């Protein structure tokens, strides 16, 4: 195999250096969104992991570039390394599952508190918020803080609905607000919360089934990526001059077509693993606003 053309190597090096510089600048920029809601230690660890991933991506791209002389393939290799965690690990889906599990536990705790004591709805809410599930700790602490600052329960519940941001919690909070405001008798709250808690638990069960299906598509993505990488390696190093036309600049442009098709299949499988949260419907909250 002939050595890679100097122009291709220079082009690839410049592109990789530009990507690395942009990533370093982005990593050094303070995180504005959600910065106050996340511990500084977690942000520091994530930045360290991102920096190591970027270093591995650049090193992988350089190895691929020197071995094949194809800038397009080296950039694709770097992109795969950078996106590997997001391709096979959907953090948003896990956060949504943890949130609905937390909402289910919160509603069950509220149901048991209303049934097992003679406290009113407002006092029961504060008691349950003082021992929240881990996934809802921040939202519940904010609710308690608002109550201690003198906010009306209805207004604190509105903020809680926005913090939880889930249709099930919206329905529960809308029912609780009707009781707190005196529009509905408090005796009906227990049955309503019990029904919503059962619905939330059913949603948790459904999410577990969905996650098992998502694992199948994630396995298909792994196999597709592995087969593609092994096929390119075999054709490049054991296929003789079969891939020599791709060494030219025009060949690199043509190479974008099969790589794009392969990437499209991966992204299609990735879209099948995505979890779309149902639209929130909050008529009582919107009327109060």
Residues 84 and 157 placed together within one structural domain of the fold: no
Tell me the residue ranges of DSSP E strands in the chain. Answer: none
Residue-level pLDDT at 34:
38
pLDDT higher than 80, residue 203: yes
Q: Determine the Cα–Cα distance for residues 115 and 109; give it in Å rounded to an integer.
A: 10
Per-residue pLDDT, 283: 46
Average pLDDT, the chain: 75
Residue 139 CB contacts under 8 Å (≥ 6 apart), including other chains:
132, 160, 163, 164
- Domain final position from 55, 88, 121: 88
Note whether 288 and 227 are same-domain residues.
Answer: yes
Asked if 177 and 154 touch (Cβ cutoff 8 Å), the reply is: yes
Range(s) of the domain holding residue 55: 1-88
Q: Are residues 124 and 227 in the same domain?
A: yes
- Give me the phi and psi of 221, to 5 degrees please: -65, -45
User: 79 and 99: one domain?
Assistant: no
**Domain final residue pick, 58, 88, 118:** 88
SS3 69: coil
Distance from the first to the final alpha carbon of the chain: 70
Same domain membership, residue 142 and residue 37: no
Q: How many helices (H) and strands (E) does the chain have?
A: 11, 0
Q: Convert the pLDDT of each residue in 75-109 to its tens digit.
A: 888 888 887 777 766 677 777 788 888 998 998 88
pLDDT at 178: 81
Residues 148 and 55 in one domain: no
- Is 76 found in the same domain as 165? no
The residue from 45, 61, 88 where one domain ends is 88
Q: How far is CA 289 from the centre of its chain?
A: 30
81 and 95 in a single domain? The answer is: no
pTM (two decimals): 0.63
Give the contacts of 175 (CB within 8 A, at least 6 positions apart).
184, 189, 192, 193, 196
pLDDT at 231: 84
Long-range (24+ apart) CB contacts under 8 A made by 209-215 are 210/275, 211/93, 211/97, 214/90, 214/93, 214/272, 214/273, 214/275
User: HEC profile for 196-240?
Assistant: HHHHHHHHHHHHHHHHHHHHHHHHHHHHHHHHHHHHHHHHHHHCC
Alpha-carbon distance values, 61 to 80, 235, 246 (Å)? 10, 19, 17
Distance CA 109, CA 125 (A): 10
Report the C-alpha gap between 83 and 253 in whole angstroms.
Answer: 23
When pLDDT is cut at 50, 70 and 90, the band that residue 143 belongs to is very high
Q: Closest Cα to residue 107, out of 203, 166, 207, 192? A: 192
* Co-location of 154 and 223 in the same domain: yes
Residue 110, pLDDT > 80, answer yes
205 and 77 belong to one structural domain: no
SS3 136: helix
């Amino acid at each position: 195999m002939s050595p890679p053309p100097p122009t291709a190597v220079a082009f690839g090096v410049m592109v990789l250096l530009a990507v690395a510089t942009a990533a370093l600048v982005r990593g050094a920029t303070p995180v504005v969104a959600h910065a106050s809601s996340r511990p500084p230690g977690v942000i520091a660890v994530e930045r360290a992991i991102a920096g190591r991933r970027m270093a591995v991506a650049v090193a992988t791209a350089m190895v691929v570039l020197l071995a094949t002389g194809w800038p397009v393939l080296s950039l694709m290799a770097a992109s795969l390394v950078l996106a590997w965690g997001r391709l096979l690990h959907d953090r948003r889906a896990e956060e949504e599952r943890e949130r609905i599990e937390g909402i289910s536990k919160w509603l069950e705790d509220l149901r048991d508190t209303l049934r097992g004591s003679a406290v009113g709805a407002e006092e029961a809410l504060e008691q349950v918020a003082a021992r929240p599930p881990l996934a809802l700790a921040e939202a519940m602490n904010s609710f308690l803080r608002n109550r201690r600052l003198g906010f009306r329960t209805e207004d604190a519940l509105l903020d809680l609905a926005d913090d939880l941001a889930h249709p099930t919690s919206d329905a529960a909070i809308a029912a609780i607000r009707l009781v707190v405001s005196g529009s509905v008798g408090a005796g009906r709250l227990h049955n309503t919360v019990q029904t919503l808690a059962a619905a939330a638990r059913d949603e948790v069960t459904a999410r577990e089934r969905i996650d098992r299906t998502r694992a199948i598509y994630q396995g298909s993505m792994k196999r597709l990526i592995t087969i593609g990488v092994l096929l390119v390696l075999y054709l490049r190093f054991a296929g003789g001059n079969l891939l020599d036309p791709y060494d030219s600049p025009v060949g690199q442009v043509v190479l974008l077509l099969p790589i794009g098709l392969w990437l499209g299949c991966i992204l299609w499988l990735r879209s099948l693993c995505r979890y779309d949260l149902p639209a929130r419907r909050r008529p009582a909250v919107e009327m109060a606003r």
